[in-house]
Every structure is written in C-alpha cells, then in structure tokens.
Amino acid sequence: MSLLSASPVDPKELRPLLHAEVDRLGDDNLLLLHRVALQLELDEVTDRLNEGFDADRAAGKLSQLPEIIRTAREALRASQAS
C-alpha cells in the first residue's frame, strides 16, 4: 500500500505505514527523507524558540538583555584578569 493511496488521519495508524515506506526506499531517497525530517525538526525548534522570544519580549525580559550582557562581560573580564 502506498502512502499516496492511504491517508489515515490517526498518527498511530500512519506510523507503521511510514516505517514500511522507509524500509522500501532506495538509498538516495532515504538520504533525502532524512534531510526532510531534519528540516521538519529544525522548523519545530525554530517555532518554539520564536514563541519563547515573543513571550519574553512581551514580558519585557528582552529589554534587560543589554544590561545582562554588560554584566556578564564585566564578570568574564574580571575572571580572566585574575
């Protein structure tokens, strides 16, 4: 059964179909699928980071960032000097 002809909505039904499709893929397509999976994961992480930054920005936390960086740099310089 091809993924194109089967369209289960439940991920629990889709997972074994995807595993079967992966097992049938040639090496070149398997490498491509891996790159696609990595890109999907990167997109998810990027979305979560953006949501976190948006929440921090809305809470005013990013306005404190220049002072936090300045303090961290001063602490780093002081630890390197000793």
Residue 69 lies in a domain: yes
pLDDT of 82 > 60? The answer is: yes
Residue 1 lies in a domain: no
The C-alpha atoms of residue 80 and residue 27 are separated, in whole angstroms, by 51
The range of the structural domain enclosing residue 71 comes to 11-81
Residue 5 lies in a domain: no
pLDDT in tens, 21-70: 999 999 999 999 999 999 999 999 999 999 999 999 999 988 988 999 99
pLDDT (0 to 100) of residue 64? 87
What's the total number of domains in the chain?
1
Distance between start and end Cα atoms, the chain: 68
pLDDT (0 to 100) of residue 8? 67
pTM of the model: 0.61
Residue 72 lies in a domain: yes
Residue 67 lies in a domain: yes
pLDDT of 4 > 70? The answer is: no
Residue 6 lies in a domain: no
